[in-house]
Structure 1
Amino acid sequence: MSAPGSTLSHERPFTVVRGAAPDVRALAGAVAAVGNFDGVHLGHKAVIGRAQALAARLGRPACVLTFDPHPRAFFRPDEPIFPLTPEPVKLALLARMGLDGAIVLPFDSALAAMTAQDFLADLFVRRLGLSGVVAGYDFHFGNNRQGTPAFLAEQGRALGLAVDIVEPMALEGGPVSSTAIRRALAEGGVEQAARLLGYRWVVRAAVQHGDKRGRTLGYPTANLRMAPGCALRHGIYAVRIAIDGAVHDGVASFGRRPTFDDGAPLLEVFVFDWSGDLYGRTVDVEFAAWLRGELKFDSAEALVARMDKDSLEARAALARAPDVPAPSALPLRSV
């Protein structure tokens, strides 16, 4: 199946309910697209689109049912997963897709121990009151992943649920998956990741105080700690950053600053043609293009000369960055 062109929809009222006993008045009898939806990529959007179509046929609300934390983070806490869209970004993206809302279930020991049958009869039907479930071809659920797509289709329908299983999606000869997107980002392939996502990859983080070295170099930066497990390739990127709803161009370095301290990985964003105090504020940063790998310079002067070149290259990359097939997701509103 080939990926169609993708755009983010206009936002509409979007209700978020948490836990296994949501306010049924908000999403009563909903059809739910079920999954982790890390990345909210084109394959996820196909699942969500089918849920919206089924909900429209049944005259029901359409929502997403997702989990936090990611099940892998629960089962393997010592192996942090590379999060493409931590919950705030995921919900902001979902809110733009014309859904009525999202149900966020805490993935804990009780949920992990639930049998596949109880997952359907007790959770989906009795406690959540769903009228339909749509899932991807690889969705598994219940203790020891007993619940397969075939089990969901057979047993769900026996319980009165409308069920739809969505086939895999391929693009450019490969699968559209969160794993493929993580692999692309780990190689610095932000443009390839954008083609699979259907939008340019975005991170959200609070601006922190740094050592103020950028000011002395003529490049004051907004410093952001990426999420634990982030495996983005270290290097220089052309970026866009949303500040108070306005989007600005910039250039960013992600890495350990080998010229100076070789410390913990940090995202440092220099915003073009803008000045102000961002400390403590949460911003969204969108990655448009990869420029080069991280380098160690013999002097601050050599570093500044290269930063001047990087800035020119970033401006050029942003000027030619296409809006399709990977449109900007900025600005994102909080949900």
Structure 2
Amino acid sequence: MILLSGFTDPAAYRGGALSLGNFDGVHRGHQEMLRRLIAKARRLGGPAVVLTFEPHPLALLAPERLPPQLTTLPEKARLLAELGLDCLIAYPTDRELLQLTAEEFFQRIVREEIHARGMVEGPNFCFGRGRGGTIETLRTMCDAAHLDLTICEMIAFEGQDVSSTSVRTALRDGRIQDANFALGRAFRMTGHVAPGARRGRLLGFPTANLDRIETLIPRNAVYAGRVNISGMDYPAAINIGPNPTFGEHAQKVEVHLVGFSGDLYGQTIHVDLLDHLRDITKFESVDQLREQLGRDIERTRAIAATLQPSVDQSSFARDE
């Protein structure tokens, strides 16, 4: 897959099928859109292209309303590439772009710049200044320009539409399995390993303390997860939040890699969350905490052994 910052390589994106959107999380709904986009591009004989905006337009228009992201741009690009996308354009968002009306955006970007011959979008798609263009606006424009438009249905889980917002809500509630089902894989946090209080090492459970996490951090709790180091998967018990047993109230993300020995300081690691273990608890003694950590580790081993990193998506496949 080719990743571009703006319209710098026309040969990579012209004459195929296009989807516009943020694609934050690359969840099951996005995956269905990508499947249809790629199928359409192959029929048209051109590239499958996604145009997204970096940063999110709300970062300029209303930063106080900007939601925490589920995926960084490199992670989003990796996931889209794995799905088979040909070209991802991460357009540097600016005020000039945001002032384009829906009609101007369609003509200048979709038609004149990208030369799209087909499009795939979701039912709630909006575009142009003030989100003035709706999916019906796009349908009318595509019909007039003889562009092949596919509108994907929303994918639902337990009566709720799958969306980036629903994934954020599940993570904020600590419902990791619900979030992972909507994503079609384990939710990933990426962070830099920084020095900590080294208290975990004294307890017999050394931890990697993560900072510089650019994505949403789930609700305070203890979670089971998985970390890959140098090609080897390790079960991981993750503590998100304070450490009340020792009177600490600072928010931390601490990861204990089961069976790993080595120095991770200064490294960047990817933590895949698999399930919720328990809420944060203040223990009466250090011995009680140590005993509970041992139980956490055993449950983490069992969960990591049974839950796979990704979820089967075959039931969501549909013909174009």
- When normalised by structure 1's length, the TM-score is 0.87
Q: Name the aligned partner's letter for residue 294 of structure 1.
A: I
What is the SS of the residue equivalent to 1:196?
Answer: helix
| Unaligned segments of structure 1, at least 5 residues | 1-13, 328-335
Give the root-mean-square deviation of aligned CA atoms: 2.0
Q: Against the structure 1 CA distance between its residues 323 and 219, is the aligned structure 2 distance closer, same or farther, given a 3 Å change threshold? A: closer
Distance in 2, Cα, partners of 1:242 & 1:324:
14
Q: 1:137 aligns with which of 107, 119, 123?
A: 123
Please identify which structure carries the higher helix content: 2
**1:216-272: CA deviation from partner (whole Å, max 9, x where unpaired):** 222211111264673511111111012223321111111122233544422111111
Q: Name the aligned partner's letter for residue 145 of structure 1.
A: R
For 2:223, the equivalent position in structure 1 comes to 237
Distance in 2, Cα, partners of 1:260 & 1:127:
59
Q: Answer yes or no: is the 8 Å Cα contact 1:241–1:284 preserved in 2.
A: yes
For 1:16, the equivalent position in structure 2 comes to 3
Q: Answer yes or no: is the 8 Å Cα contact 2:156–2:162 preserved in 1.
A: yes
**1:94-141: CA deviation from partner (whole Å, max 9, x where unpaired):** 110011121111233222211111111111222233332211111111
Greater relative contact order: 1 or 2 (C-alpha under 8 angstroms, separation 6 or more)?
1
Distance in 2, Cα, partners of 1:265 & 1:139:
36
What is the SS of the residue equivalent to 1:206?
Answer: strand
Q: Answer yes or no: is the 8 Å Cα contact 1:140–1:147 preserved in 2.
A: yes
Distance in 1, Cα, partners of 2:293 & 2:265:
23
**1:282-333: CA deviation from partner (whole Å, max 9, x where unpaired):** 1111011110011122333332221111111111222232567369xxxxxx
For 1:222, the equivalent position in structure 2 comes to 208
Q: Against the structure 1 CA distance between its residues 264 and 15, is the aligned structure 2 distance closer, same or farther, given a 3 Å change threshold? A: farther
Distance in 2, Cα, partners of 1:316 & 1:326:
20
Following superposition, the deviation at residue 47 of structure 1 comes to 1.1
Q: Against the structure 1 CA distance between its residues 128 and 245, is the aligned structure 2 distance closer, same or farther, given a 3 Å change threshold? A: farther
| Alignment pair present for 1:94 and 2:111 | no
Q: Against the structure 1 CA distance between its residues 49 and 108, is the aligned structure 2 distance closer, same or farther, given a 3 Å change threshold? A: same
| Unaligned segments of structure 2, at least 5 residues | 314-320
Distance in 1, Cα, partners of 2:310 & 2:79:
17
Q: 1:30 aligns with which of 16, 21, 24?
A: 16
Q: Answer yes or no: is the 8 Å Cα contact 2:244–2:282 preserved in 1.
A: yes
Distance in 1, Cα, partners of 2:58 & 2:246:
35
- When normalised by structure 2's length, the TM-score is 0.91
Q: Answer yes or no: is the 8 Å Cα contact 2:3–2:90 preserved in 1.
A: yes
Superposition misfits of 4+ residues, deviation over 3 angstroms: 226-229, 260-264, 322-327
For 2:183, the equivalent position in structure 1 comes to 197
Q: 2:25 aligns with which of 30, 39, 49?
A: 39
Following superposition, the deviation at residue 79 of structure 1 comes to 4.3
Identity rate, percent: 38
Aligned length: 313
Distance in 2, Cα, partners of 1:161 & 1:263:
56
Q: Against the structure 1 CA distance between its residues 92 and 264, is the aligned structure 2 distance closer, same or farther, given a 3 Å change threshold? A: farther
